[in-house]
Amino acid sequence: MALSLFVGPPAKGQAEIRGKVMAKVTHEFDLYGKHYKLETGELAKQATGECLVSCGDSTVNVTVVVSKERKNYDFFPLTVDYIEKMYAVGRIPGGYLKREARPSEKATLTARMIDRPIRPSFPDGFRNEVQIVAMPLVADQVNSVDTICIMGASAALTVGGVPFEGPLAGVRIGRDVETGEFLVNPTYEERDNSDLDLELGGSATFISMLEAGAKEISEEDMLAAMAFGQEAIAAFCEEEKKFFQKCIEVNGPFPVREYELDEPIPEVHERVFAHFDEMSAALKDADKLSRMDKVEALKESIKAEFTEDEQAEWDRAIPVELKSLEKHAMRKMVVETGERVDGRTATEVRPLMVKPNYLPLVHGSGLFQRGQTQVLSVATLGMLNEWQRLDTIEPVDGKRYIHHYNFPPFCTGETGRMGSPKRREIGHGSLAERALLPVIPSEEEFPYTIRVVSEVMESNGSSSMASTCGSTLALMDAGVPIKRPVSGVAMGLIQEEGKTVVLTDIQGLEDFLGDMDFKVTGTTKGITAMQMDNKATGLTPEILKQALKQAHEGRMFILDAMLEQIPAPREHTKETAPQIISLSIPTDKIRDVIGSGGKVIRGIQDDTGATIDIQEDGSVFIAGTNGAGEEAAERIKAIVKVPEVGEEYTGRVVNIQPFGAFVELLPGKDGLLHISRVAKGRVDKVEDVLNVGDEVRVKVIEVDEKGKISLDRLDKPEAPAGAERKGSEHKGEKREGEHRRRRHVGDKGGSGEQRQPRRHHEG
């Protein structure tokens, strides 16, 4: 089937204008307190379509290229790339190469956000390869660049004459915590004061993509935010239409291109769908692998009914019809009988298994299984200086709570390459991270960096929700004082033959062949995260309300099962986890603790085995096991301690002078014990009573303005016999000698003034 589509406002005299020089067209408008601009005709003219879109000064160039030839696939080959450019924020990329390389997690998530509303808007059977590239050129650090990319992609597709159901737009909805007012595309500053971060993508009439993070808000408030977001999307779509009309007025009609679609072949459809009852019977099996084997065996037997020539002629049509047969058999079963392929009702949750403290030695772990989806989550606690630093164009330095999700091929009984995480894994990890972030304690409450890794051991749908539940178990097992436990469930939708059924806890088949994948996480207080991909255009507020109601019931059922096994976070972290001690020292003492070239702090770490992190504001975090942290903390306290009058110490004599002994009270802190205070009675020489290395009990009697410390000895011994006599014999000689010295000093100066001898006093 050949498809010629003209997208945009109607115009007369459509004609092929490929290669025509396009004049620059700009449309500027204000919506919800912010300024936007759409522009085309100046950049990337060899692309199929291009649009420069901006919000404030944040600017993204979005291009679309569609291959000339149709691909021999049984799926739609769409690729979306979001390429961060560090020059957009006036920075040079880090690393050795000093150029952009692998996309950041934020870039990957943004590419997914653009893809999800665009993909279902293309017609069935479209097989030409499509690549959308969004490239931020300026990020003003005030307005986010991600949500405007959907509008830019929609505009680029339209001006390029690509067939899709547009226009589309994306918005971010926030809510001011003080006024309760909803905000459209809030600035970064406004987002800091918001208890909601809701991203929506779709058309003027329905939402096809949703991502949300929230600080435990109610289902009613979330529905209100979604309704408000739908109105905002419609407003942006209307501005796109005005832009398209300007383009036509300046450059004439959009190009008309013919694209051949894969169209159902009636003969193939009839022969495949003759096996509808057999497919329905094959689908009724609660075991995923057994059901898949039955379905694949049936498909192979149906395919074998076609001759080799027919299979060659209809090589794409046959697989498409076989997939359609499976889809319609499953959907009809649900809407007609109310029974699902595994025998559950629409609102029933699969059997649960909950096991906290699953692994020994690790800091925290939890095994969560729902049906044939099994996730093992492991929590690790570290120092605050182990936080993840982010090198992106977003004004975010990093994060101290990190969630990673891994989906190895064995979890679905398949072989595959084990390597870096794919987009799906990054997206699911981000969802679980967003779900738990609102309940993570602050640095002041719990001075740790927290990493949770969710390993999918077995998968049959809703693994991201299982990872949320498993991670809650792991955090509680690790002794992380989360505010409230979080659970999650995935909802589905079947709209068939005029009937609508909302499904609770969908499995893989119902996700793949259904109309909606709607994930909801939250606590007993409210929602913390949501994600939705919707293929149904008839998603009404009533359906969403029903889905959220069923999701709440499912979440609470799952949460009760979790709390039966671990009702609250453990009171203490495990012995294998680092015990982090936090203290504060004066900023002028930081140098003393670190020492010259880091000698002092390295010595403490080497001696105790603890890890020490000192912040510029004097905050000190010490991590260690088996008492190492406490020992290191005491040594640091001793370094910064300033002895006070009246305090008593057992010190070590470190130096002896004729006038007294210097006693080390604390590391680096000496005080002077004058010769007159080393014993009861007169002492001629300090060495008669004390030697270097002796321990002596002393009391602080004075600390002068320069910090010099004077001491008195406690439990003084009697002065050695003969000390007083020796002093009397030499008394006259000493006075005569002192008189001679003073006279000599006075005569030297000629003024007659007497100069007192200097006393060397170190404190």
Annotated binding site for Mg(2+): 511, 517
Give the DSSP per-residue string, 123-140.
PTTB-EEEEEEEEEEE--
- Is residue 444 within 8 A of residue 395, CB to CB? The reply is no
CA distance 381 to 387: 11
| Locus of tokens 């794919």 | 422
The structure tokens listed for 196 are 């909601």
CA distance 253 to 255: 6
> Chain-centre distance of CA 467, in angstroms?
15
- Is residue 296 within 8 A of residue 287, CB to CB? The reply is no
Phi then psi dihedrals of residue 245, to 5 deg? -65, -40
- C-alpha dist (Å) from residue 683 to 59, 134, 145, 379, 660: 85, 87, 82, 65, 10
Q: Where are the beta strands (DSSP E) in 168-253?
A: 169-175, 182-184, 196-202, 207-217
Residue 153, CB half-sphere, CA atoms under 13 Å: how many? 39
Residue positions counted in the chain: 763
Binding site membership: which residues? 511, 517
CA distance 299 to 294: 9
Task: To the nearest 10°, report the CA torsion of 266, 268, 269, 274.
Answer: 130
Q: Where are the beta strands (DSSP E) in 303-360?
A: 352-356
- 117 by DSSP, 3-state: which? helix
> Could you tell me which residues are beta bridge partners of residue 718?
680
CA distance 502 to 544: 9
- C-alpha dist (Å) from residue 32 to 56, 168, 235, 404: 12, 18, 10, 36
CA distance 679 to 676: 7
CA distance 244 to 240: 6
CA distance 290 to 282: 9
- Is residue 23 within 8 A of residue 39, CB to CB? The reply is no
Q: Which amino acid is at 653?
A: V
- 454 by DSSP, 3-state: which? strand
Burial of 753: CB neighbours in 10 Å, binned 0-12, 13-18, 19+: exposed
- Is residue 363 within 8 A of residue 356, CB to CB? The reply is no
CA distance 262 to 239: 33
CA distance 119 to 13: 30
The structure tokens listed for 535 are 């293929």
Tell me the Ramachandran region of residue 689: left when phi exceeds 0, alpha when psi lies from -120 to 50, beta otherwise: alpha
- Closest among 110, 116, 44, 105 to 78, alpha carbons compared: 116
DSSP-derived pairing of the beta strands 78-82 and 449-458:
unpaired
- Is residue 436 within 8 A of residue 214, CB to CB? The reply is no
